[in-house]
Structure 1
Amino acid sequence: MLAAKSLLDSLTSQVTRLLDNDGNLPHHELEQQFKSLLHNALGKLDLVSREEFDGQMLVLQRTRQRLEALELQVQELEQQLTASRTKPQAEQP
């Protein structure tokens, strides 16, 4: 979080300097420099595209479903094991 705050502070000061140029820069030059500043600042963040995020969400959902299925299998196997261990003891005279 500190890195994001530092980045935001840096971006703010750069934009302030850019805007405080007393009108020396033409509008298109100002716009171009602002886009460049913003592009550089966003490039420093660990951002992912929506497509990549959605893809990872699908992987996570499938993994969760598989985990739940495996948990059920383990539970069933444990029940079978418990039943098989108690059966022979109950049958002994």
Structure 2
Amino acid sequence: MNKPNDFFSQLQQNVSDLIANSPAADLEKNMKAFMGQAFTRMDLLTRDEFDTQMALLERALARIAALEQRVQELESQTGKSDSQD
């Protein structure tokens, strides 16, 4: 008697062979090609590209905040020296 794993492996192989030799395989291949073209036209980003851009944005925002604080410090120093004159 076959082991249950052998039975399921054989069943899976039979189903794979059946699908590979049927119009379903062509349909799947055509659908993947169609979806690939649609996604290409949509100009989508990968998750890695998105994460990279988010990290760059966060660094830029932190730098802007630091520069704004520095400008305020310089303006307050300039205001003090102007009032002393």
- TM-score of the superposed pair, with normalisation by structure 2: 0.71
Q: 1:46 Cα shift?
A: 1.2
Letter of the 2:27 partner, please give it.
L
Structure 1 segments unaligned to the other structure (5+ residues): 1-24, 89-93
Identity across the alignment (%): 41
Structure 1 residue corresponding to 2:47, chosen from 47, 50, 53? 50
Which sections of structure 2, spanning at least 5 residues, go unmatched? 1-21
| Alpha-carbon displacement from aligned partner over 1:4-54 (angstroms, at most 9, x marks no partner) | xxxxxxxxxxxxxxxxxxxxx711111111111111111111111100110
Runs of 4+ in structure 1 over 2 Å off: none
How many aligned positions are there? 64
State TM-score, norm by structure 1. Answer: 0.65
Root mean square deviation of aligned Cα: 1.2
| The structure with more helix, counted as a fraction of residues | 2
Q: Does 1:86 align with 2:55?
A: no
* Partner in structure 1 of residue 6 of structure 2: none
